């Protein structure tokens, strides 16, 4: 059990080793065969059963359909689900933090306060980490410690993370590098720079004379997380970002001398230097844009285009839907590249389509500039690559107007089979964008989605339409989704998506139904996870004791433990803390239970409202993989 699976949609398609340090679920769906390791596997990367496939869902040669919409959804869902309530102290005492049509939960029953983190959670995690060499428990504690508020105990926590570099376990070393990044301290950046540069300071931590390429790659991404996550007011913040900038740009300046993995993680590390601080780091953002554009334009050969495919989404994350002429220049360049059908890796076009969905249409078009919406529509209708077409439909949903919405409705109802679910989901994204602008969701979109829900039998399309119907917040969708859940309750993946649609819908009448559904799904990881998330969306936290019960069960499988751990993190409820501490400290429990409980503690007490991986996951095209991103066992996406 190496990496805790974050992306449930991936494991809906194929089960994998379920390490606990992210505490997220990637479980099997229906009769899908297991991937590497499988549920309950005690070893790292061993097949769950004789003959189990060694290929994960993103591994070249795998027979899993990577174009399905749940892959995209699991990477991007944090942008659409309700953020966890702020930690106590971020709002006045007693201020409402979860609201849902008549129900208000207050701070007193939600996130743990600093005293609980400092006096209970962090000491337990540090104690358990110091007393074990089990890789599962070590990696879970490393990530959990890095996620919580370390104020006043920074030196102690960083020392505990550094101590784990001197191990013979490659997975532990990589996780320690990433944990230093998540901890977001100026000293973390110094340490990680030594690893990227393969310097003596890193050799001393490792107890060896060189740093392997995988650890260097993890350190590159960790540098971005650390330097970008440091508050601007903190001493040493500016110097840390400058150190990270210099280190990461050197990698991209000499691409032919660097490994593929190191180049990709440098791209993402640079992008992470800005994160949500664009207004205060504008100059740095434009410096990064310039470096990334140069790397994107370089002629590195056909084999390196999959590496350059990571740039468009990085640019989109840095720039967003800005209105300056430089924003339009980047939009026009990417749209032109998508319009010109050059012989290149399909992953480049896929990433451009996704990037344009965040950059938006041109604001100040000049003569000769392409129309972004027209290019996306042409791409969606005619591109030779299925995944590019599907991503273009999503982009049209996010940024399109009435004409594009009408085309999405048509495709949703009568388009090509593999594209219909993306068109349905795109209608949901369009509804989400309309509501954020304070505009009404078109009745025609609601009717199209409900027609699919009433008439369609294909599970993939039904699940996408149910989720999209939730985004509309149309009350007419409530009886339709309730009926769907009743009819398809035994289809794990589909039922989970319907439940999540009910949560997104925001109708409190669904709470009793979802509670009963969760109670009947305690041994079914996918419905368990999504039902709990749906209840959290509706401001209902009464599932917490049931989820803790799963972690306390001696015989719970790894996928059930992972599902319960992720759900508890989503809810962020302090009432789970004492029970989780008991599980973590109990040496008589299985190592998996203790590791997932540790991961859940880190998530519940996380210092940010969004989980740390929300800064990483939405900006990765899951088709443009290198081994450190995903290899079915030990990549960053296996951890996220």
pLDDT-derived band at 580, boundaries 50, 70, 90:
very high
Pick 311 or 590 by higher pLDDT: 311
CB atoms within 10 A of CB 79: 13
Sequence length of the chain is 640
pLDDT of residue 16: 41
Residue 332 clears pLDDT 50, i.e. is over it: yes
Region 141-167: what's the mean pLDDT?
95
Share of the chain above pLDDT 90, in %: 67
Selection from 233-237, 538-542, 596-600, 636-640 with the highest mean pLDDT: 596-600
pLDDT of residue 637: 77
Q: Which of 58-72, 162-176, 527-541 has the least mean pLDDT?
A: 58-72
Give kind and range of the element (H or E) at residue 99.
strand 96-100
pLDDT of residue 271: 96
Residue 25 clears pLDDT 70, i.e. is over it: no
Interatomic CA distance for residues 52 and 506, integer angstroms: 41
Q: Is residue 175 a contact partner of residue 139, using CB atoms and an 8 Å limit?
A: yes
Interatomic CA distance for residues 313 and 309, integer angstroms: 8
- The whole-model pTM stands at 0.89
Region 289-302: what's the mean pLDDT?
94
Q: Is residue 66 a contact partner of residue 57, using CB atoms and an 8 Å limit?
A: yes
CB atoms within 10 A of CB 461: 22
pLDDT of residue 632: 73
Residue 31 clears pLDDT 70, i.e. is over it: no
pLDDT of residue 103: 42
Interatomic CA distance for residues 451 and 444, integer angstroms: 10
Residue 630 clears pLDDT 90, i.e. is over it: no
pLDDT of residue 97: 44
Mean pLDDT computed over every residue of the chain: 86
pLDDT of residue 485: 97
- Residue recorded with tokens 């100026």: 186
Residue 37 CB partners (closer than 8 Å, separation 6+): 1, 2, 16, 17, 18, 43, 44, 45, 46, 47, 48, 633
Q: Is residue 272 a contact partner of residue 615, using CB atoms and an 8 Å limit?
A: yes
pLDDT of residue 625: 87
pLDDT-derived band at 519, boundaries 50, 70, 90:
very high
Pick 38 or 130 by higher pLDDT: 130
pLDDT of residue 278: 59
Region 469-479: what's the mean pLDDT?
98
Q: Is residue 192 a contact partner of residue 181, using CB atoms and an 8 Å limit?
A: yes
Region 417-434: what's the mean pLDDT?
97
pLDDT of residue 639: 67
pLDDT-derived band at 41, boundaries 50, 70, 90:
very low
pLDDT-derived band at 20, boundaries 50, 70, 90:
low
Alpha helices by DSSP H, 14-55: none
Q: Is residue 566 a contact partner of residue 23, using CB atoms and an 8 Å limit?
A: yes
pLDDT-derived band at 237, boundaries 50, 70, 90:
confident
Region 563-579: what's the mean pLDDT?
89
Region 220-246: what's the mean pLDDT?
91
Region 58-81: what's the mean pLDDT?
79
User: Phi/psi of residue 99, each to 5°?
Assistant: -125, 140
CB atoms within 10 A of CB 627: 18
- Residue recorded with tokens 């210099």: 246
Residue 54 clears pLDDT 50, i.e. is over it: no
Q: Which residue pairs from 167-173 have beta carbons closer than 8 angstroms and sit at least 24 positions apart in sequence?
A: 169/135, 169/138, 170/212, 170/214, 170/215, 170/634, 171/2, 171/3, 171/44, 171/135, 171/139, 171/634, 172/135, 172/138, 172/139, 172/142, 173/206, 173/215
119 CB-side CA count, 13 A: 5
Pick 121 or 51 by higher pLDDT: 121
pLDDT of residue 279: 61
Region 173-193: what's the mean pLDDT?
96
Pick 631 or 327 by higher pLDDT: 327
Residue 48 clears pLDDT 80, i.e. is over it: no
Q: Which of 21-25, 103-107, 319-323, 470-474 has the least mean pLDDT?
A: 103-107
pLDDT-derived band at 640, boundaries 50, 70, 90:
low
Q: Which of 342-346, 399-403, 496-500 has the least mean pLDDT?
A: 342-346
- Residue recorded with tokens 């409980």: 597
| Structure token digits, residue 626 | 């290198």
pLDDT in tens, 90-106: 544 444 444 434 344 44
Interatomic CA distance for residues 294 and 333, integer angstroms: 13
| Residue-wise DSSP of 515-532 | HHHHHTTTT-HHHHHHHH
Residue 407 clears pLDDT 60, i.e. is over it: yes
Share of the chain above pLDDT 70, in %: 86
Q: Which of 26-30, 140-144, 384-388 has the least mean pLDDT?
A: 26-30
Residue 107 clears pLDDT 80, i.e. is over it: no
Q: Is residue 232 a contact partner of residue 279, using CB atoms and an 8 Å limit?
A: no
């Amino acid at each position: 059990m190496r990496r805790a699976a974050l992306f449930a949609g991936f494991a809906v398609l194929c089960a994998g080793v379920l390490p606990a340090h992210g505490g997220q679920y990637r479980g099997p769906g229906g009769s899908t065969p297991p991937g590497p390791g499988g549920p309950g596997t005690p070893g790292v990367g061993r097949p769950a059963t004789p003959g189990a496939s060694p290929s994960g869902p993103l591994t070249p040669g795998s027979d899993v359909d990577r174009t399905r919409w749940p892959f995209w959804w699991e990477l991007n869902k944090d942008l659409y689900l309700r953020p966890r309530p702020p930690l106590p102290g971020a709002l006045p005492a007693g201020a409402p933090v979860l609201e849902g049509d008549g129900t208000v939960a207050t701070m007193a029953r939600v996130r743990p306060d600093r005293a609980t983190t400092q006096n209970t959670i962090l000491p337990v995690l540090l104690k358990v980490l110091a007393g074990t060499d089990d890789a599962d428990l070590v990696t879970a504690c490393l990530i959990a410690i890095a996620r919580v508020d370390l104020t006043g105990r920074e030196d102690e926590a960083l020392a505990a993370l550094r101590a784990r570099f001197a191990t013979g376990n490659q997975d532990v070393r990589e996780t320690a590098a990433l944990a230093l990044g998540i901890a977001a301290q100026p000293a973390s950046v110094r340490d990680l720079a030594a690893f990227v540069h393969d310097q003596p300071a890193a050799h001393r931590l490792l107890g060896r004379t060189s740093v392997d390429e995988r650890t260097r790659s993890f350190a590159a991404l960790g540098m971005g997380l650390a330097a970008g996550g440091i508050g601007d007011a903190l001493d040493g913040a500016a110097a840390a970002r400058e150190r990270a900038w210099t280190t990461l740009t050197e990698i991209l300046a000499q691409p032919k001398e660097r490994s593929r993995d190191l180049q990709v993680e440098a791209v993402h590390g640079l992008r992470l230097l800005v994160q949500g601080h664009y207004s205060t780091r504008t100059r740095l953002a434009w410096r990064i844009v310039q470096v990334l554009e140069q790397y994107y334009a370089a002629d590195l050969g056909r084999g390196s285009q999959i590496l350059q495919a990571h740039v468009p989404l990085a640019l989109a994350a840095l720039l967003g839907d800005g209105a300056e002429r430089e924003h339009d220049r980047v939009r026009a360049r990417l749209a032109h590249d998508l319009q010109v059908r050059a012989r290149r890796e399909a992953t480049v076009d896929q990433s451009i389509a996704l990037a344009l969905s965040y950059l938006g249409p041109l604001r100040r078009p000049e003569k000769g500039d392409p129309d972004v919406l027209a290019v996306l529509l042409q791409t969606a209708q005619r591109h030779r690559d299925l995944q590019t077409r599907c991503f273009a439909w999503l982009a049209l949903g996010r940024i399109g107007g009435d004409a594009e919405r009408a085309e999405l409705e048509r495709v949703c109802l009568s388009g090509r089979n593999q594209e219909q679910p993306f068109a349905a989901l795109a209608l949901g994204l369009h509804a989400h964008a309309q509501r954020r602008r304070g505009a009404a969701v078109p009745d025609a979109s609601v009717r199209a989605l409900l027609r699919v829900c009433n008439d369609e039998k294909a599970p993939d399309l039904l699940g996408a339409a149910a989720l999209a119907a939730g985004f509309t917040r149309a009350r007419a969708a409530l009886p339709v989704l309730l009926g769907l859940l009743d009819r398809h309750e035994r289809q794990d993946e589909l039922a989970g998506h319907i439940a999540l649609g009910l949560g997104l819908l925001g109708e409190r009448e669904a709470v009793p139904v979802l509670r009963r559904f969760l109670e009947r799904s305690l041994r079914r990881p996918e419905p368990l996870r999504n039902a709990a998330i749906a209840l959290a969306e509706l401001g209902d936290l009464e599932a917490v004791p049931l989820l803790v019960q799963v972690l306390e069960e001696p015989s719970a499988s790894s996928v059930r433990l992972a599902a319960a751990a992720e759900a508890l993190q989503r809810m962020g409820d302090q009432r789970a803390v004492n029970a989780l501490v008991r599980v973590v400290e109990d040496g008589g429990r299985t190592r998996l239970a203790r590791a997932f409980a540790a991961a859940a503690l880190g998530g519940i007490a996380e210092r940010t409202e969004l989980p740390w991986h929300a800064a990483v996951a939405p900006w990765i095209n899951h088709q443009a993989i290198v081994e450190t991103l995903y290899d079915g066992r030990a990549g960053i996406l296996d951890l996220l």
